[in-house]
Amino acid sequence: GDSVTQMEGPVTLSEEAFLTINCTYTATGYPSLFWYVQYPGEGLQLLLKATKADDKGSNKGFEATYRKETTSFHLEKGSVQVSDSAVYFCALIINQAGTALIFGKGTTLSVSS
């Protein structure tokens, strides 16, 4: 079945460090890929997305590239801030179905000053 696998956390970094959160997927169809962020006590916010192979999604300094050959969508940021501390979820949706998002388990990021 369709699934998303994320690296387990927590990820603990110092401010201005480089961030990578790995995400790989298995999909029977041709998916769109997303990263969502959840701040403590809040709902999910869409961080970035990519809808086809080699697309790069970017927002607020975060980037992720849709790699069909490696079925990956790794999240990166060159210099993290304390305010980036949150839980990050990788997710996919099968375009043909257009229904449920399938989420990874989430990766907790903690950034200290």
42 binds other proteins (CB under 8 A): yes
43 vs 70 by CB, closer to other proteins: 43
Quick one: residue 60, left, alpha or beta (phi over 0 = left, psi -120 to 50 = alpha)?
left
CB neighbour list of residue 42: distance below 8 Å, 6 or more residues apart: none
Binding mask 47-66 for other proteins (x = CB under 8 A): --x-x---------------
Cβ pair 104, 21 in contact under 8 A = no
100 binds other proteins (CB under 8 A): yes
Look at residues 7, 20, 38 and name the one whose alpha carbon lies nearest to residue 77: 20
17 binds other proteins (CB under 8 A): no
Residues near other proteins (CB under 8 A) are 32, 34, 36, 42-46, 49, 51, 89, 93, 95, 98-106
